[in-house]
Chain A
């Protein structure tokens, strides 16, 4: 038996049609059932042996965080059971349940007490927490004055002040500056060498592959794949890339509260924008180097020579990555009558790095919108580039690269 054994764990949330539903159930001692069950986890079974490091991956809403919350004991499982031996430390979401008015010291003390440490052990831990978090004199300040990064640093330092037998981390590592990320990963690695079992949720394929011995892919509350990190991540990437008109991306649009800006005289108008793969299926996730088609449907409102249609791909920070238009591409212009509809289709090879991008489309007279701008639609849609499994690099541009290594003739 290993360090952690999870047996057919399930978690059900009760969805009530209205607020009186639960009261009805209580009053009738649950002889009348008013809720509809929502299983966010079902039949999750796996074992983790001593010192193993397991990454848990899956899309938003796959049940990753719920699983971790059950394992740390903050949420109760509806069915199934799990066993864990040894001391468990957890970093859930952002920070600990830190009290904003108390100072860093007081929070650290309270959290240590919560972890069940004795007074002497706490006394010994506190300086180490200060040292690792590098908060220095900020430890005297109330935690509400801390930046998010500082809170994460404190929380991480507290949770790992004493080497736990099992460490559970929920994406907390992706916050904070790169320096601290490296530092914390180094600490985790050190724990791992000393025999700590590690369980963490991540979206970062690189970190997972570097740290994990194993990955578990959750999808809609069930274990879909359990195996080597490479195999599971490749499966995951294929899964999200294939997902047609990806619901997750739609969610990202909402979550970030993107503001779409549209401007122009509207003598001609873009009525619809879509991205598809070569076979014409609408897609918002593409693998590196995949060919995509950008379709713009245009409605002409007034007589004119056909306008220039252009697109611009921007990275997540809003920097221009690549743009082109019918003028640059030497497309012949022709007369258009009011009421006519046109469809422009760009075929682009997406030699882009992994990440999120936005697509801007525009209609104007000359080569740029400084001529006459008919319609300019910022962030008309967002799409994602996911790894293709073979080409690994960093940055936004995918430049096919070859390398050779040969001995240099030494000095005579």
Chain B
């Protein structure tokens, strides 16, 4: 499977490039939009929430802090759900290609992962720029983002591929996942700090594998604090398991998939 991915790398990169360009096809500003939209998001979170609505984090007396807190969670959650959502629909979207051309099907999730990585890279770059300009750049601890992101995206990819192949047979999955992701979002301390929750529901949040990741992102951006790696042992195992699940589901079902597209 992996040898095939390497052999078809030019197709994968070609698709990622086309997909990126196709999104801005027919617009005057073109790829500039890729920068404008995250910029607008950051603007809303920091200026509107922070300055105008005066939303504040408990314990930090800083009008921008809440905005940065939001960015840390929302932007990473965004790329997490992007991979899951796209994986869930990618086989159905590419039905035409799957039915007419013979190529390794594993290239499609690879395209999804790469293409959302490109999108996140742009968003992340804009965020860094903003942090530098606003004087909140955390310095070296920022590098702590990447191992955690790797875990998060592996988790998303494994889960997404598994759901994606099942979705071909039972389209309910696509509908269900949209709802599940909404609950998941609110069960993750993204817009609220975990500390505001009463003790008796805290365990629910702790069961959520994304919780620790999001808290780490927030700590990096707000407090320039390195992630506590020892907390991520289970996460690493979970990510490997999720990827394994994806591979197994893909191996078992991808052959039959075309008959139901």
Contact = CB atoms under 8 A, between A and B. Distances in A.
Please determine whether chains A and B interact with each other in the same assembly. Answer: yes
Interface of A: 13, 22-23, 69, 72-76, 88, 90, 92-93, 95-99, 101-102, 106, 109-111, 113-114, 116, 118-119
A106 B18 contact: yes
Among A22, A76, A101, A114: residue with most chain B CB under 10 A = A114
Given A88-B102, A109-B14, A114-B103, 8 more contacts: A72-B102, A90-B100, A90-B102, A93-B100, A96-B100, A101-B22, A114-B101, A116-B7
Nearest to B100: A97
Nearest to A77: B255
Contacts of B259: 13, 75
Among B10, B99, B169, B256: residue with most chain A CB under 10 A = B10
B97 A97 contact: yes
Those 6 A-B pairs whose CB atoms lie nearest each other, nearest first: A97-B97, A73-B102, A113-B11, A76-B255, A97-B100, A97-B96
A377 to B, nearest CB: 41
A339 to B, nearest CB: 56
B6 to A, nearest CB: 12
Nearest to B13: A113
B240 interface: no
9 contacts: A74-B98, A74-B99, A74-B102, A76-B258, A93-B99, A96-B101, A106-B18, A114-B103, A116-B8
A269 to B, nearest CB: 48
Contacts, number: 63
B170 to A, nearest CB: 7
A74 B169 contact: no
Nearest to A111: B101
Contacts of B256: 76
Contacts of A102: 18, 22
Given A73-B102, A74-B99, A96-B100, A113 B10 contact: yes
Contact of A110 (B7, B18, B169): B18
A97 B259 CA distance: 16
B48 interface: no
Contacts of B11: 110, 113-114
B197 to A, nearest CB: 36
Interface string B156-189: 0000000000000110000000000000000000
B15 interface: yes
B25 interface: yes
Contact of B18 (A69, A93, A99): A99
B258 A75 contact: yes
A106 B22 CA distance: 11
Nearest to A72: B102
Among B25, B97, B258: residue with most chain A CB under 10 A = B97
A109 B18 CA distance: 11
B8 to A, nearest CB: 7
Contacts of A13: 259
Given A74-B258, A76-B255, A113-B8, A97 B101 contact: yes
A90 B99 CA distance: 12
A281 B104 CA distance: 53
A74 B101 contact: yes
A139 B208 CA distance: 50
A83 to B, nearest CB: 15
A41 to B, nearest CB: 13
Contact of B99 (A23, A97, A101, A106): A97
Interface in B64-102: 94, 96-102
A111 B256 CA distance: 23
Contacts of B7: 116
Contacts of A113: 8, 10-11, 14
A92 B100 contact: yes
Interface in B122-138: none
Nearest to B166: A26
A101 B25 contact: yes
Among B15, B98, B101: residue with most chain A CB under 10 A = B101
A93 B11 CA distance: 22
